[in-house]
A and B are shown apart, each in its own frame.
Chain A
Amino acid sequence: MSDKKTIFVVIPCYNEAGIIRETIAAIIEKDYSIIVVDDHSTDNTREQLKEIPLIYIRHRLNLGQGAALQTGISVALKRGAEYLVTFDADGQHDVNDIDGMLQKLKEDQLEIVLGSRFLPGSGGNISVGRKLLLKAACYLNYLFTGILLTDAHNGLRVMNRHAAKSIHLKENRMAHATEILKEIKKHDLKFGEFPVHIHYTGYSKKKGQSLLNSIRIFFDLVLNKIFD
C-alpha cells in the first residue's frame, strides 16, 4: 500500500447526490483512500458513486452525521488507516488544505488538527450572521469541553491512528462536533488548528446548519452533559 493510500478520507453524506461526484473527484486526484458513509440517502447517491474506486458503506437506517462519521472511522481503522481525514460531502472544503493539515500534524507532533475558518490565512465567503453564530458556538463549546477554538463545527479534521482509535462518538446527530472536543480532552490528545478555505455555494448553504438546528444541537449537548 502506498503511503497516500493509508490516508483515509471519511465522507459522511445524506442526500448529496447532486454534488458528491464533484466533491470526490477532487479527492481522487490526490490518491487518498476514500470512505463514503451514506446515511440511508433517499436520492440516487449510490448510483452517482458507481464505478468510482472507493469504499461505500450504506447505513440500513438513517442515524445522523455523528453516527455516519463513527462508522467511517471504524471502517478506516479496520482497513489499516494511518491517518484519517473527515470531510463534508457538500463540497465546501478545499482538498488542498489536507496536505497542509497533515504536514502540521507531523511537524508539530500533534494527534489531531482541526480546520478553522477564522485563523489568519483562511479564506472563504462566510456571511456575518453565520460568523456570529459560529463564534457563539465556539464559546459554548468552551463551556462544555474546556477547549477554546477559533472555529466550531468545521467538518474538516485530520487525525492520526491513535486519535481515531481514542475517539468514540456516541452523539448520532450534529452534537458530535462538540463530542470530538470532549474526546480530545478526555484522552488528552495533542491538538492544533489550521486555517482552511471554505467555498459556500448556494447548495451547501441550503444544506447547512440553520439557527433552529443550533438550538437542537444545544439541547443534545445539555443531555449529553447530564447523561454521560
Chain B
Amino acid sequence: MTLIQVGLAAGVILIGVYMYVRLRNTLFDVFLIGLFIITGTLLVLFPEYSNKIAHWAGVGRGADLLFYLSILFLFFLILKLYSRLRRMEQNFTEIVRNKSIEDAEKLEEKN
C-alpha cells in the first residue's frame, strides 16, 4: 500500500463516519453512506478496478471516469444548493415584508 492510498482511504472512511454521526440519517442515507465507504475504499486500494469499469463504460482511464462523474455530481449539488437559497430568500423576504408593514402600521397608530 502506498502512502497516497492510506491517506485517501482514511479520508473516505473519516468522511463517511462523520456523515453518519453528524447527519440525522434515514435508512436510505445509511445505505448510501455505506456504499460510499465501501466503493471508495475498494477503488483506492485496487485502482485497477476503476480502470476496468472505465473501459467497460467506454472511458480510457478510471481517473477520467471519476472526473466526469464528479463534475456531474458537483453540478447537481450547485443546483440543489441554489434552489435552497432561493427558497430561503423568499422566506426572509416574507418576514422582512411583514415586519416592515407592521412597523408602518405602528407608526400610524402613534400619530
Contact = CB atoms under 8 A, between A and B. Distances in A.
A223 B90 CA distance: 14
A218 to B, nearest CB: 16
A78 to B, nearest CB: 8
Classify chain B: how many residues form its interface, as a range. Answer: 10 to 19
Interface stretch (B17-25, B37-45, B50-58, B98-106): B98-106
Contacts of A75: 101, 104
A55 B89 CA distance: 26
Contacts of B93: 63, 67, 172
Contacts of A172: 89, 93
Contacts of B90: 170
Contacts of B104: 55-58, 75
Contact of B97 (A55, A56, A71, A223): A71
A132 to B, nearest CB: 31
B83 A60 contact: no
A57 B96 CA distance: 11
Nearest to A67: B93
A67 B103 contact: no
Contacts of A226: 79
Contacts of B86: 223, 227
Contacts of A60: 96, 99-100, 103
A226 B79 CA distance: 9
A71 B101 CA distance: 8
Contacts of A59: 96-97, 100
Nearest to B83: A227
Interface in A22-65: 55-61, 63
Given A57-B104, A223-B82, 17 more contacts: A55-B104, A58-B103, A59-B96, A59-B100, A60-B103, A63-B96, A67-B93, A67-B96, A67-B97, A70-B97, A71-B97, A71-B100, A74-B97, A75-B101, A170-B90, A172-B89, A227-B82
11 contacts: A57-B100, A57-B101, A58-B100, A60-B96, A60-B103, A67-B96, A71-B97, A170-B90, A172-B89, A223-B86, A227-B83
